[in-house]
Amino acid sequence: MKNENISLIAFMIVGIAMGYASTLINDNWTSLGIATLVFVIMTDLLKRVFGMKEQLKWFFSNGGSIYFFTWLAVWLIIYNL
């Protein structure tokens, strides 16, 4: 599987999980900080597990933007229920 697909799938799954976890935190700025920290941890984890040599900029354009959008969408949907 291509690195782009691996990155996209991994960030979508983690984005959904973090969206749910952010509703349990009950503080907007803390949720944003933890979501950003998880993004950085995921980039490092993907580099180590799959041997990717890309920079942080590559990860943001190939999954990170989807991660933040998915996180925000899931968080807002659950928050408003």
**Percent of the chain predicted with pLDDT > 70:** 100
Q: CA dist 7 to 27, 50, 63, Å?
A: 28, 10, 6
Q: Are 77 and 22 in contact (CB under 8 A)?
A: no
Residue 38: band (very low, low, confident or very high) from pLDDT cuts 50, 70, 90: very high
Alpha-carbon gap, residue 12 to 69, rounded angstroms: 9
Looking at residue 41, its pLDDT comes to 95
pLDDT of residue 56 exceeding 90: no
Between the two ends of the chain, the Cα-to-Cα distance in Å is: 37
Q: Which pLDDT score, from 0 to 100, does residue 26 have?
A: 84
Domain count, the chain: 1
Tokens of residue 11, six digits? 């960030």
Q: In angstroms, rounded to a whole number, what is the distance separating the alpha carbons of residues 27 and 72?
A: 14
Model's pTM, two decimal places?
A: 0.88
Mean pLDDT confidence for 28-40: 94
Number of H helices, E strands in the chain: 4, 0
Q: Which domain holds residue 33?
A: 3-79
